[in-house]
Chain A
Amino acid sequence: MGVADSLVRDPNAAAVASKNYLMLTGFVCGGWQMARAARVARAKLDAGEDPGFHGAKLATARFYAEQILPQADALLKIVRSGGSSVLGAAGGAILNAGHEEAPPLRF
């Protein structure tokens, strides 16, 4: 079962994960386009077209792949950890701490 499917099955866990899932998708969509840019740039370089410009495109895509895109791995790990540290008693314990005199918030 893919991540997307498990998100759809448990709406509250999905709500916990959704911002990270959105950012993950953003980094991957950015990577998808940078890979396409790299492929075009490579072909133009091979054809000897504007090496300065296309060389920079290739280098930028490489930088993105090595220094930016791996954030998606970390985000995926967070998304996969589910929502139980936020939902229910565990989450309540975090936000109630220090407010013992007030009626406890229940989630």
Chain B
Amino acid sequence: MTTYLAPTRDMRFVIEELAGLDQLTGLPGYEEATPDLVEAILDEAAKLAGEVLAPLNKTGDTQGVHLKAGDVLTADGFKAAYQQFVEGGWNGISGAPDHGGQGLPELVLAATVEMWNAANMSFALCPLLNAGATEALKQHGSDALKAQYLPNMISGTWTGTMNLTEPQAGSDLSAVRAKAVPEADHYRLYGQKIFITWGDHDLADNVIHLVLARTPDAPEGVKGISLFLVPKFLVNADGSLGPRNDVHCVSVEHKLGIHASPTCVMSFGDQDGAIGYLVGRENKGLAHMFTMMNEARQKVGIQGLGIADRAYQQARDYAKDRIQGRPLDQKSGDRVAIIQHPDVRRMLMTMKSQVEAMRAFAYVMAADMDLAHKHPDATERQHRQARVDLLIPVLKGWCTELGVEIASTGVQVHGGMGYVEETGACQYLRDARVAPIYEGTTGIQAADLVGRKLAMRPGCGDGGT
């Protein structure tokens, strides 16, 4: 079995020296995020990641998930681990304090997200998607919806999903066809969504789907898409769970990696229509989604970083022990560990140095997100936000592409043993491979950077500079 030791010393170096934790502790709401508290949080998170989540990574990979009588069953140990995750308050560490979160900076969250993903990327996807759904609801939901759903989503007792993709609508969401028909104080949803991560599972009591769909008289294209909240179990006025809603997982995909993360085909409205509630305004669904996209893309970028570090840790361990060949200038004598060979060392350093570069870039971005939200000076907030908007596609695209490359280098360091499943090195490569695809492919990130973000720079595209 392979271990994972969260590099907390390296993380603190970046948090304190490069991302400027001291700038954040001066901001309203972040007063408690002192270096001591952050160190304590990272140490606790490292324990959960190393002792609870990492040991389940391989069993999750081999067992996968199973659809039984309409319910998705997760791999052994995941339910208990998730329980521990929720009880430790990890889901809500950056959540809004008025809904039960701890309100810590994105910067601290970034380090924990790295740990969860390095330890067990399949597991980490569940809170990752929940965070996106929570953010969308927090920003655009009515007070009534927020009061009813946010506290349980922030604690993690319920988990959120993002239902965007349909067979004909992937990169191009303007082609979304799911329907939402108004009825009394709610809507009835009909249609099929595919590739829905953690779309159904047995870790939490309820699953809260955020769904893109069209109302009957909506205009064509992106301007006719609305956002709805569709709970798996309807919620009674007193907060208790009511009847099962008409939304079901009809199959789970067999995929290259992240086997323990259910990727679901979701069917809405097979019987009398799935009851859903409008989030934000009609026809503004895509615009509402965009406001949480930076956070989601940042976290997927961090997945690339996390998995790369895990691959590095394992490759370094292996290279210390594997005996093969002799140094170039010795024809006889003891054979040496492969870490003595310059090319193997170069591979390991390529992994390590890029992990550190990605971490520094990702955490600095996270601190910029905090400053963009909370800096007292409006110009400074704008400046930080502009930098985040410009560089998030780079963070997402670059870190996820490097994640794959570094995991592949990890396989290479192992030689033939890298290609057999026993060592675990190839699981990282298989798991890492999805990150450049979902949450907007690298091609879409690149188009966003060059086509939209550069074009929006002042002085660009109008003959300036």
Q: Which residues, 2 to 17 on A, are CB-close (under 8 Å) to B?
A: 2, 4-5, 7-9, 11, 14-15, 17
A15/B451 in contact, CB under 8 A: yes
B18/A64 in contact, CB under 8 A: no
Can you list 5 A-B pairs with a CB-CB distance of less than 8 A?
A15-B447, A21-B446, A21-B450, A23-B397, A33-B360
- Complex formed: what's the CA distance from A22 to B349 in Å? 23
Q: Which residues, 29 to 63 on A, are CB-close (under 8 Å) to B?
A: 29-34, 36-37, 40, 53, 57, 60-61, 63
Residue of B18, B350, B354 ringed by the most chain A CB atoms within 10 A: B354
**Which residues in A have their C-beta under 8 angstroms from that of B353?**
34, 60-61, 63-64, 67-68
With A5-B465, A11-B451, A33-B18 as contacts: A23 and B357 at CB distance below 8 Å: no
> Given B13, B357, B455, which contacts A30 in the complex, CB threshold below 8 Å?
B357
Chain A interface residue count, CB cutoff 8 Å, equals 35
A17/B450 in contact, CB under 8 A: yes
Interface residues on B, range: 35 or more
With A4-B460, A37-B17 as contacts: A60 and B356 at CB distance below 8 Å: yes
**Which residues in A have their C-beta under 8 angstroms from that of B446?**
18-19, 21-22
A22/B450 in contact, CB under 8 A: yes
B18/A68 in contact, CB under 8 A: no
Flag whether A25 is at the interface (Cβ < 8 A).
yes
**Which residues in A have their C-beta under 8 angstroms from that of B352?**
60
Flag whether A88 is at the interface (Cβ < 8 A).
no
> Given A18, A25, A34, which contacts B360 in the complex, CB threshold below 8 Å?
A34
**Which residues in B have their C-beta under 8 angstroms from that of A32?**
361
Which residues of B are interface residues toward A (Cβ below 8 A)?
9, 13-14, 17-18, 346, 349-350, 352-354, 356-358, 360-361, 364, 391, 393-395, 397-399, 401-402, 442-443, 445-447, 449-451, 454-455, 457, 460-461, 464-465
Chain A residue with the shortest CB-CB distance to B443: A19
Which residues of A are interface residues toward B (Cβ below 8 A)?
2, 4-5, 7-9, 11, 14-15, 17-19, 21-23, 25-27, 29-34, 36-37, 40, 53, 57, 60-61, 63-64, 67-68
B447/A4 in contact, CB under 8 A: no
**Which residues in B have their C-beta under 8 angstroms from that of A29?**
361, 391, 394-395, 398
Q: How far is the CB of B209 from chain A (nearest CB, A)?
A: 31
With A18-B446, A19-B446, A60-B353 as contacts: A8 and B360 at CB distance below 8 Å: no
A5/B391 in contact, CB under 8 A: no
With A9-B461, A19-B446, A22-B442 as contacts: A30 and B451 at CB distance below 8 Å: no
- Complex formed: what's the CA distance from A61 to B402 in Å? 17
Residue of A2, A19, A31 ringed by the most chain B CB atoms within 10 A: A19
